[in-house]
Amino acid sequence: MIRVAVVAVAVLLVASLPWLWTTISARGHVYDEADAPAADVVIVLGTAVAADRRQPGDRLAGRLQTAAELVNSGRARVVLVSGDGAGTSGDEPAVMTSYLTDLGVDPRRVVADPYGLDTYDSCARAREVYGVERALVVTQSYHLSRAVTLCRHLGLDVDGVAARCAGCGRALLAEKSLRDYFASGKAAWDAVRDRPPAVRSPADPAVRNAQRG
């Protein structure tokens, strides 16, 4: 019985290593909205849009509201919205761009990446395609450490900002936290093998141009 317990603990520790990596690596780089530092660029990670396919879902709306506040308060100048342009719920970057405009963000300050198919791809493409070196990355708290760790691993100097999350009850947060625990394994595997993004694109000066505008 003791041997079984020891083996079980060992397996749990090994399984937890990727989660520990993302959590420890992000330490010191995660902020609440009110305490967020400044950066020229804020990256908003996509997620599901609403059933009408024209408005963001609750979690995506929270991310965009946080990004808009960072811009409107002068802590960021350009928003890179990164998501799946052909997602099952709809065109994430298009919805994100429209919603940011409704929140008062100048559309000339918004750049859309329709090939941010997951967190890793969003970080990799921000660096490789759009030339981003320093940024804030916005997503909900349960996802933030993984996003920050992946972006920093891929060469971006990023700080994470926890997004608003209206309607995020305890059950949803627990579910998403558990999902992210297991997703950290894929994140670690992608990082170890230096996976290229699913879609490769030539360099795009849109972010630089938006900064100059």
Read off the pLDDT of residues 18-47 as tens digits, 9 standing for 90 and up: 999 999 999 999 999 999 999 999 999 999
Q: Sheet of 30-31: strands edge to edge?
A: 30-31, 157-162, 134-139, 41-45, 78-82, 110-113
Is the pLDDT at 124 greater than 80? The verdict is yes
Q: Which residues contact 23 (CB under 8 A, 6 or more apart)?
A: 145
What pLDDT, on the 0 to 100 scale, is given for residue 12? 46
CATH of domain 1-212: 3.40.50.620
Give the relative orientation of helices 119-128 and 141-153 as an angle to the nearest 10 degrees: 40
What pLDDT, on the 0 to 100 scale, is given for residue 169? 85
What pLDDT, on the 0 to 100 scale, is given for residue 149? 98
Annotated domain spans of the chain: 1-212
Q: Give the burial class of 43: count Cβ atoms within 10 A of its Cβ; 0-12 exposed, 13-18 middle, 19 or more buried.
A: buried
Percent of the chain with pLDDT over 70: 93
What pLDDT, on the 0 to 100 scale, is given for residue 14? 54
The pTM for the full model equals 0.93
Is the pLDDT at 10 greater than 80? The verdict is no
Is the pLDDT at 6 greater than 50? The verdict is no
pLDDT tens column, 39-93: 999 999 999 999 999 999 999 999 999 999 999 999 999 999 999 999 888 999 9
Token pair for residue 44? 């908003």
pLDDT tens column, 126-174: 999 999 999 999 999 999 999 999 999 999 999 999 999 987 888 988 9
Q: Which of 4, 6, 26 is nearest to 180 (CA)?
A: 26
Q: pLDDT confidence of 123, banded at 50, 70, 90?
A: very high
- Pairwise CA distance, residues 182 & 13, whole Å: 13
Q: How far is CA 26 from CA 20, 110, 111, 137, 151, in A?
A: 10, 26, 26, 12, 10
